């Protein structure tokens, strides 16, 4: 069974510290990378047959896609700042370049797409913000690239879970194509912790327990969710951020709660 936990590594020549590909993950759709860019660094990319959502997690950068250039976007000091990130959508096969004006933490989210659509800046002011759950199940969600916005495969969202709270809870899954009931979506969780020496826990499990892994995640780790339920818990004292990337045969997020725990969602 594939280990679902991916740790960051020392930056390579391009500043890459994380690289999850469909081949390395053993699936078909989601790709995810994180680059740490120094001021004035330039990163180029773009893949045939794949679209990308370039998320400036922190810092300020210019992003060029095709003939369009979006200048000095971003500005968050960290992912824990109460502000939306900057993001740019690059259609399938489009070449792109990111030029850092400060230290930049860049997430590259990718999935299959044909060469159609337009590059665009995803306006931070237009990213909807919502509160999910209640009590110690409360978390704060910012929709970066939801299904209501144009793309072919990608869904991208970020979440803050306060210390002591649970997230992606009650446990839910989206691994079966059942019309109007559930869609099949692969998913990555990119975890950050505040303060950074903290840890959190994530479990990924299926109904028959043929997949059942519980992982202690630390700052900068990625958890891959090929299938199954995937709740997350943040210990007291450590706020948890995660960036989710989802993609599958149908660009729609319909999930099913674990029947054993669905009563929690229905509790008044």
Are the CB atoms for 37 and 61 separated by under 8 Å?
yes
Are the CB atoms for 34 and 18 separated by under 8 Å?
yes
Task: Specify the pLDDT at position 131.
Answer: 96
Task: Specify the pLDDT at position 2.
Answer: 66
Mean pLDDT of 124-153: 95
Task: Specify the pLDDT at position 261.
Answer: 96
> Domains in the chain, please, with CATH?
5-266 (2.60.120.10)
- For residue 243, what are its two tokens? 């960036």
In which band, very low, low, confident or very high, does the pLDDT at 217 lie, cut at 50, 70 and 90?
very high
Q: Is the confidence at residue 3, as pLDDT, over 60?
A: yes
Count how many residues are written for the chain.
268
In terms of phi and psi (left: phi > 0; alpha: psi -120 to 50; beta: otherwise), the region of 57 is alpha
Mean of pLDDT over the chain: 96
Sequence-distant (≥ 6) Cβ neighbours of residue 21 within 8 angstroms: 31
Distance CA 234, CA 163 (A): 5
- For residue 78, what are its two tokens? 């960290």
Mean pLDDT of 246-264: 96
Dihedral sign of CA atoms 215, 51, 71, 17 in order = positive
pTM, whole model, 2 decimals?
A: 0.97
């Amino acid at each position: 069974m594939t280990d679902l936990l991916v740790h960051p590594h020392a930056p390579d020549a391009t500043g890459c510290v994380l690289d999850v590909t469909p081949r390395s993950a053993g699936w078909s759709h989601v790709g995810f990378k994180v680059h740490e860019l120094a001021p004035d660094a330039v990163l180029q990319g773009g893949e045939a047959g794949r679209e990308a959502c370039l998320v400036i997690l922190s810092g300020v950068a210019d992003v060029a896609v095709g003939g369009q250039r979006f200048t000095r976007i971003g500005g968050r000091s960290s992912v824990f700042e109460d502000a939306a990130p900057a993001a740019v959508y690059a259609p399938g096969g489009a070449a792109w370049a990111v030029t850092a004006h400060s230290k930049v933490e860049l997430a590259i989210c990718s999935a299959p797409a044909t060469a159609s659509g337009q590059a665009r800046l995803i306006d931070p002011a237009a990213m909807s913000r919502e509160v999910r759950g209640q009590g110690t199940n409360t978390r704060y969600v910012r929709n970066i690239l939801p299904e209501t916005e144009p793309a072919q495969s990608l869904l991208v969202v970020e979440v803050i879970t306060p210390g002591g709270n649970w997230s992606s809870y009650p446990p839910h899954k989206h691994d079966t194509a059942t019309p109007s009931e559930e869609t099949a979506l692969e998913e990555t969780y990119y975890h950050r912790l505040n303060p950074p020496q903290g840890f959190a826990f994530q479990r990924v499990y299926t109904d028959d327990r043929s997949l059942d892994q519980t992982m202690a995640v630390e700052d900068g780790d990625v958890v891959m969710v090929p299938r199954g339920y995937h709740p997350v818990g943040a210990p007291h004292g450590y706020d948890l951020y995660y960036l989710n990337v989802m993609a599958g045969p149908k660009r729609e997020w319909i999930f099913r709660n674990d029947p054993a725990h669905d009563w929690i969602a229905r509790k008044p």
